Amino acid sequence: MLALSIRQPYAELILRGIKTAELRSRSTTIIGERFYIYASKGRGASGKGGPGLALVQQVWSRDLSTGGPPVPQWMIELAEQVKLIEPGAQGGLPTGVIVGSAVIEKCEEIRDQKSESSGRASDLASDLRPLTSLFKWHLTDVERAKKLRKPSKHPQPVWFRPF
């Protein structure tokens, strides 16, 4: 079974059913197959730069190339309550481990509406810009792992075989 790397706190949001879609720059063929959710060691981004940023932020995604702010206090408290971490533990949510699994129900292309021109002469510059596409992977059948497991194989930025 494949694993998908997702940064914290986004992996926890998926496990809680708050984040029901994953936005990526590429489509996927892993539709209808169960996959592991790997909470990568990196943290979610601060929201700096990049094309289509407003659209990305709007659907709970992030720019994978930048670092990010610390995990919000409410999320640490939530993780303590569901016994993912010990109360007062340093580091907050678990990273570097398989935290659950899910299935991609469908994948749809989303175009950045800011990049689409309105057809006016004053928008000539925007007519020359390429359209930015993102792919929304709709997640379903999400399950939290009973035991956190560290992959025996080297994690990759997107899909990888953990064991």
- Answer yes or no: is pLDDT of 101 > 80: yes
Inside any domain, residue 41: yes
Is 60 exceeded by the pLDDT of residue 85? yes
pLDDT above 60: residue 160? yes
d(CA 102, CA 104): 7
User: Is 58 part of a structural domain of the chain?
Assistant: yes
**For position 147, what pLDDT does the model report?**
95
Domain range enclosing 101: 3-116+137-146
Residue 6 pLDDT grade (very low, low, confident, very high; cuts 50, 70, 90): very high
pLDDT score of 127: 53
**What average pLDDT does this structure show over 48-69?**
37
Predicted local distance difference test score (pLDDT) of residue 83: 67
The arithmetic mean of pLDDT across residues 3-19, rounded, is 92
Do the domain assignments include residue 70?
yes
- CATH number, domain with residue 22: 2.30.130
Give domain status of residue 31, yes or no.
yes
Q: CB 120: neighbour CB atoms within 10 A?
A: 9
Q: How confident is the model at residue 115 (pLDDT cuts 50, 70, 90)?
A: very low
Q: Residues 45, 68: contact at Cβ < 8 Å? A: yes
123 in any annotated domain: no
- Only one residue has tokens 């002469």, namely 121
pLDDT value, residue 78: 73
Most trustworthy range by pLDDT among 41-45, 93-97, 122-126: 93-97
- Structural domain tally of the chain? 1
In a domain, 128, yes or no: no
The single residue listed with the structure tokens 């990273």 is 95
Closest CA to 7 of 99, 88, 128, 73: 99
What is the reported pLDDT for 111? 79
Distances from the Cα of 38 to the Cα of 28, 51, 117, 127, 147, angstroms: 17, 26, 38, 40, 13
Contact 148, 134 (CB under 8 A): no
